[in-house]
Amino acid sequence: MFSSRLIKTLLVCGLTAVAANASAAQLPTLQSGVLTIGSDLTWAPFDYFEKDVPAGFDAELMSKIAKGLSLTPKIDDTRFANLVIGLTGKKFDVIASALYITPARAKQIDYVPYLKTGGSLMTLKGSDFQPQIPGDLCGKKVASLKGAAWVPTLAKLSTDHCAPAGLGPIVVQEYDSSPLAAQALLSRAADVQFDDAAVSQMLVKQTNGRLAITSKTILEPVVIGLGVAKGNTALVAALTEQLERLKRNGEYQAMLTSYNLQEPTPEDVAAAYASK
């Protein structure tokens, strides 16, 4: 005979499973039973291929989230500049690609904030040019990922600071991926590369120390968010709920520690949405 306590436990577990399946069934995804994810898999350590399999923080996080929703994750490798277009064009359900939250993007898509990071400056190792802040970039050619959040900031700095001071403009050269931007720097087609701090550290390792990070602090601190199509409140709620679940059970913090990343504070998130 089953004890009343065991029966109650089985009943609760059964109801929880049914609720989870019902939630997944009601979730408005493009493909039934599948969570299609847009990621630029050229951006290690956030998003990259490892033996032809998507890897990195975002792939790991979305695998855990999809499992919690009883959905199968399917990553669509898409270049960074086309991610928002792909989302609004219904190519995928969610963007998970270290997408910085900016006021301009927030007008186009909704976000679920989940990380905090920032930028770094890199030059060739041993270069006489050792920039530490964006103000040091006047008159220089800057390699950057196409569509990166700091590109408008550099354009404004060039117009408002460099030109009036007679220091020459900041010439931003945008590339489809961070490795391509690094190649431009390595070939001396650019003077410096502005990229995400974690990505910069990875590029230094991948180039066997031929590049060096010259900035001393995190530049332009930013909050990263999962991108969801405007008005898809059900998916925003589901992703938020799963993220909170991972925080409660300790998996999220373990990932942050593993990748040397931080959780954004409510103040960080509010600042990310505010116009500069």
pLDDT at 257 over 90: no
How does pLDDT run across 125-180, given as a tens digit for each residue? 999 999 999 999 999 999 999 988 899 999 999 999 999 999 999 999 999 999 99
pLDDT at 2 over 70: no
pLDDT at 15 over 60: no
Provide the pLDDT for residue 276.
Answer: 54
Please name the fold of domain 118-220.
Answer: D-Maltodextrin-Binding Protein; domain 2 (3.40.190)
Q: Which residue has the tokens 């994810």?
A: 37
- What is the DSSP secondary structure assignment for residue 162, as one 8-state letter? I
CB 91 within 8 A of CB 38: yes
Q: Output the average pLDDT for the chain.
A: 90
Residue 57: band (very low, low, confident or very high) from pLDDT cuts 50, 70, 90: very high
3-state class percentages of the chain: helix first, strand second, coil last, to nearest 5: 40, 25, 30
Provide the pLDDT for residue 5.
Answer: 46
pLDDT at 250 over 50: yes
What gap in Å lies between CA 171 and CA 100, rounded to an integer? 22
Residue 258: band (very low, low, confident or very high) from pLDDT cuts 50, 70, 90: confident
Q: Which residue has the tokens 């792909």?
A: 86
Percent of the chain with pLDDT over 90: 80
Does domain 4-117+222-273 correspond to CATH entry 3.10.450.40?
no
Which residue spans of the chain are classified as CATH 3.40.190.10?
A: 4-117+222-273, 118-220
How does pLDDT run across 206-231, given as a tens digit for each residue? 999 999 999 998 898 889 999 999 99
pLDDT at 1 over 70: no
Other beta carbons within 10 angstroms of residue 187's beta carbon come to 9
Q: Which of 2-6, 114-118, 132-136 has the lowest mean pLDDT?
A: 2-6
**Measuring CA to CA, which residue among 243, 224, 225, 232 is closest to residue 65?**
243
